[in-house]
Amino acid sequence: MVGNSKPQTHHVAVLAFPFGSHAGPLLSLVLRLAAAAPQVAFSFLTTSKANAALFSKSPLSLHNVKAYNVPDGLPDDFVLSCNPEVAVGFFLKAAPENFMRSLKDAEAATGLRVGCLVSDAFFWFVGDMAEEMKVPWVPVWTGGPRSLLVHVDTDLIRQRLGTSGGGKQTLDFLPGFSRFQMDDLPEGIVGKLESPLATLLHKMGQKLPKATAVAINSFEEVDPEVVNVLKSRFQKFLNVGPFSLIPPSPSPSPPPLLNDESGCLEWLDTQKPASVAYISFGSVVTPPPHELAAFAEALIESGFPFIWSFRGNIEEILPKGYDKMSLNGKILSWAPQVQVLQHSSTGVFVTHCGWNSILESIAGGVPMICRPFFGDQNLNMRTVEAAWGIGVGVEGGLITKPAAIKALELVLKQKEGEEMREKLKVLQNLAQQAVEWNGSSAQAFNSLVEIVTK
């Protein structure tokens, strides 16, 4: 075990959302808090499946972090559906009662009453639990500041634009949103409002202003106008990221050797600066096979060097002759994304526009080609393209061979790509300054430590 073994005097329960890429960033934050506050016991509560995946990957063990399993709420005869919202709905319906039961188990195991609740921001009901227990509640938003603001201001948006959804009406009544349209909004704000997720997000937006503090994996300087609005909406708004720029706590000594079995970092060393396309669409959804095939054809025809973190059966999905692609690049089942994006040879990131990926791209100074799918990803793409000018969406919204070639050439060969890189240098420096010892994110993290240790 790593860490101080002093007796624990405080107890924080952490309630994690087990779907998508929510729980990983929350655990990263908890590990930092646990290292900064060794006298606090942190009980990490989520499903057994999520805990097994998270704690098998975590390179560090701290004496004051322990996982507790929460039932997934699925009936015994449940058959996995292609629609993940079904499983989410079952989980959410049973979540308040199941989390409370696991929380009591954690109190019994530690011998310490829970004195603070930290949760995924999705769990609006934790605010009610905290009120009943008379303890602070700190929800953690794992997306970006713009998506957070539109959820907090959902009632205002519906009042101004109605609830039917779709359309090109601008969102200029929201500060910093003059270049955004109704079509850019995440699902659940307008349009289909009956789904469990839409109900959850609406209640979340109404409940978050009552929280002790709201924390986010971001840095104030990335979107100051929107951040200032959020500061006015919440009792405290703590930007404590980007997590990818903050070393694990405590830092192991000596640092572990990076696992690069594929040799992709060594291969990047042989490429020209800012010349390589890195392709990864995240771990939740991938484009349909015809789009993946179209992108492969674009890579073959354009000849750009690439690293592709590919999920799925390559032989079934990619076009005939895909083996020629190995002449210009690497197709891998997994790549060390943070290190790839921080390598000087990486010139563009083809991404689904998840918030974690955007932050990692900013930290590496790499422009983006965006192919979003759902949730906040479309809004993130518009932020990258229209608000910050550090990337471009795929023309028409879907990957075709001509659209992919056009986007690759724009970023890797043309003046627009150079302009994106210059803008990214500014954001990259601001992100690095934010996490330094007296930076805005470091100060916000210290405030968070004070809240959870009271």
Q: Which of 388, 451, 425, 378 is nearest to 224 (CA)?
A: 388
Which candidate in 10, 11, 72, 120 is catalytic?
A: 120
Residues whose CB falls within 8 Å of the CB of residue 438, separated by 6 or more in sequence, listed in order: none
Please answer whether residues 360 and 427 qualify as being in contact, where contact means their C-beta atoms are separated by less than 8 angstroms. Answer: no
Please answer whether residues 37 and 10 qualify as being in contact, where contact means their C-beta atoms are separated by less than 8 angstroms. Answer: yes
The b/e string for 290-306 (b: 16+ C-beta within 10 A; e otherwise) is ebbbbbbbbbbebebbb
**120 a catalytic residue:** yes
**22 a catalytic residue:** yes
Which candidate in 10, 11, 22, 151 is catalytic?
A: 22
| 40-46, strands of its sheet edge to edge | 65-69, 40-46, 10-15, 116-120, 137-141, 214-216, 237-239
- Which amino acid is residue 27, in one-letter code? L
Compute the half-sphere exposure of residue 61: CA atoms within 13 Å on the CB side of its CA. 7
- What is the set of active-site residues? 22, 120
